[in-house]
Amino acid sequence: MRITDARTLVCSPGRNFVTLLIETDRGLRGYGDATLNGRELAVASYLDDHVLPLLIGRDATEIEDIWHSLYKGAYWRRGPVTMTAIGAVDVALWDLKGKLLDTPVYNLLGGRARRGVTVYGHANGSTIDGAIAAARGYIDMGYRAVRLQSGLPGLEQPYGVGRGDLYYEPAAPDHPIEETFEPGPYLRGVPQLFERARAELGWEVELLHDAHHRLTPREAAQLGKALEPYQLFWLEDPVPAEAQESLRLVRHHTVTPIAIGEVFNTIQDAHQLIGEQLLDYIRTTVAHAGGLTHLQRIAHLAELYHVRTACHGPTDLSPVNLGAALHFQTAVHNFGLQEYMRHPEEAHEVFRVGYWLEEGMLHVSDSPGLGVEVDEERAADFPYQRAYLPVARRWDGTVHSW
C-alpha cells in the first residue's frame, strides 16, 4: 500500500485543530492529530515543509521503519513540535493499517483487554459550591471519576475554571488570558474544596485534582499530605517535572497518588520518574509522545514499575487523538484512567466519531482503523484563528508557571 498524498488540514470548529490526512493507492485514507495547543502552525509547517514530501511513494504498512526514519533521520531529536509531527504520521499509519486489514486498531495493539475505558470529567466552578454542583452533573451522567478545580478564597482565577462547566477551554484568541496563583490561598483552599466534596458527594466517586505545575516540591508535599484524608485518585502535575529528583521529596512525605507527564514527549522524559517509582500514573498521550508506536514503549516500561497509563485528553487534542488513545487504552495491560474533556458541538460536525460514553466509560466501535472520519468540506467553514494559552502571575505581578 503506497502513500500517494499527504496533507495537513487546519481548522477551528470551536477551537483550533491540525489534522494530518494520508492517502494511499488502495483508496484508503488515514488520519492523525497534530495539534499543539497555542503553537499549532509550527507543527503544520514541520509536516508540510519537511516531513510529508518524504512520505510520498513509501509503503504505508512499514510503521516502525517510517517512525525511526523520521526520528533518527531528522538528527534534531525530541521536543514537542518534532514528536507531535511524528505522532501524527504514526497514528495515520495505524489507522490505515486497520483499514487495510479491516480491523479496529486495538486489535493490532494486542486486542481488547477490558470492557471499556474509564474516564474522568473536569468539573469546575468559580466557587467551591459551583465546582461541587458541576461534579454532581458528571456523576448524574454516570461518570465514576471527576477532577475538581475551583476558585478559592483569595484566589479567584485559578487553573481549570473556564467558560462553561462541560466544555473547559483555556486558549483565547489574540491575547493570553491572565490567571493568578498564590501558594498561601491555594494550599489553604484546596483541602477545603475536597473536605466539602467528600461531605457532599460521598465516597463512591473517585476525585482528582490538577495542581498544573505550580508548586515547589515542599509545597506539593504539604498539599499531598493535607489531601490524604480525602483519598484522591491522583494529584496531577504537582511540580514542574523538569527537575525529576524533586519528586523524591514529594514522595517521601505523602502517599497521595501522583500523575505527571502530559507535557512529556518521549520515553526519556519519563524514564527516571518511572524507574524510581516517583509517580503512579504517566500522563503522556498519543499525539504529543510520538504516536501509538512510542506510547506503547512508555507503557511497557511503566508496567515493569507498577505505573499505570493516564493519557492526557483535553479539548485541545482532536477527536482523532481521543480515538487513538481509546484504542490504546482498550488494549494496554496497565491501564489507569483516561481524561475526557468533552469537545464542543462544532468539533463533532467536522470529526465524526464512533466512540460513545456509557457507565462512565468510553467505548470504541469495531469499525476498521480508529473509527474517526474527518469531513473536509465542513472543516472549511471553520477557519484557523490564532489563539494563546493563558499566562499565570503571582499577586505582585511576577510571572508563574501556567
Catalytic residues: 159, 212
**Least gap, CB of 158 to ligand EZ4 (angstroms):** 12
**Least gap, CB of 241 to Co ion (angstroms):** 12
Alpha-carbon distance of 255 to 275, in angstroms, equals: 18
Q: Which does 389 bind (CB under 5 to 8 A by kind): ligand EZ4, Co ion, none?
A: ligand EZ4
Alpha-carbon distance of 235 to 223, in angstroms, equals: 9
Q: Which is nearer to ligand EZ4, 30 or 121 (CB)?
A: 121
Alpha-carbon distance of 112 to 361, in angstroms, equals: 14
Q: Site residues for Co ion, window 224-243 (CB under 5 A)? A: 236
Alpha-carbon distance of 113 to 26, in angstroms, equals: 31
**Least gap, CB of 38 to Co ion (angstroms):** 15
Cβ pair 2, 57 in contact under 8 A: yes
**Site for ligand EZ4 (CB under 6 A): which residue of 125, 170, 189, 291?**
170
- Whose grid coordinates read 474516564? 119
Q: Which does 189 bind (CB under 5 to 8 A by kind): Co ion, ligand EZ4, none?
A: none
Q: Is 273 left (phi over 0), alpha (psi -120 to 50) or beta?
A: alpha
Q: Which is nearer to ligand EZ4, 67 or 264 (CB)?
A: 264
Instruction: Please give the grid coordinates belonging to residue 315.
Output: 479539548
Q: Greatest CA separation found in the chain?
A: 61
**Site for Co ion (CB under 5 A): which residue of 210, 219, 280, 373?**
210
**Least gap, CB of 22 to ligand EZ4 (angstroms):** 25
> Which region among 91-99, 125-133, 210-218, 386-394 touches Co ion (by CB under 5 A)?
210-218
State yes or no: residue 169 binds Co ion (CB under 5 A): no
Contact map string, positions 178 to 217, toward ligand EZ4, x by CB under 6 A: --------------------------------x-x-----
Q: Which is nearer to ligand EZ4, 214 or 312 (CB)?
A: 312
- Whose grid coordinates read 502571575? 393
Cβ pair 247, 273 in contact under 8 A: yes
For residue 95, CA distances in Å to 28, 73, 89, 272, 311 come to: 10, 23, 10, 31, 19
**Least gap, CB of 262 to Co ion (angstroms):** 5
Rounded to 5°, the CA angle 39-43-47 comes to 165
Q: Which does 314 bind (CB under 5 to 8 A by kind): Co ion, ligand EZ4, none?
A: ligand EZ4
Q: Site residues for ligand EZ4, window 303-362 (CB under 6 A)? A: 312, 314, 316, 339
**Least gap, CB of 121 to Co ion (angstroms):** 13
Number of residues that bind ligand EZ4 (CB under 6 A): 10
**Least gap, CB of 157 to Co ion (angstroms):** 17
Cβ pair 338, 330 in contact under 8 A: no
10 Å Cβ neighbour count for 225?
15
For residue 64, CA distances in Å to 8, 99, 124 come to: 22, 18, 41
Q: Site residues for ligand EZ4, window 28-57 (CB under 6 A)? A: 37
Instruction: Please give the grid coordinates belonging to residue 138.
Output: 458528571
Alpha-carbon distance of 244 to 234, in angstroms, equals: 18
Q: Site residues for ligand EZ4, window 252-311 (CB under 6 A)? A: 262
State yes or no: residue 316 binds Co ion (CB under 5 A): no
State yes or no: residue 16 binds ligand EZ4 (CB under 6 A): no
Element (H, E) at 292: helix 291-304
Q: Cα-flanking dihedrals φ and ψ of residue 109, to 5°?
A: -95, 10
Interface with ligand EZ4 (CB under 6 A): 37, 170, 210, 212, 262, 312, 314, 316, 339, 389
Interface with Co ion (CB under 5 A): 210, 236
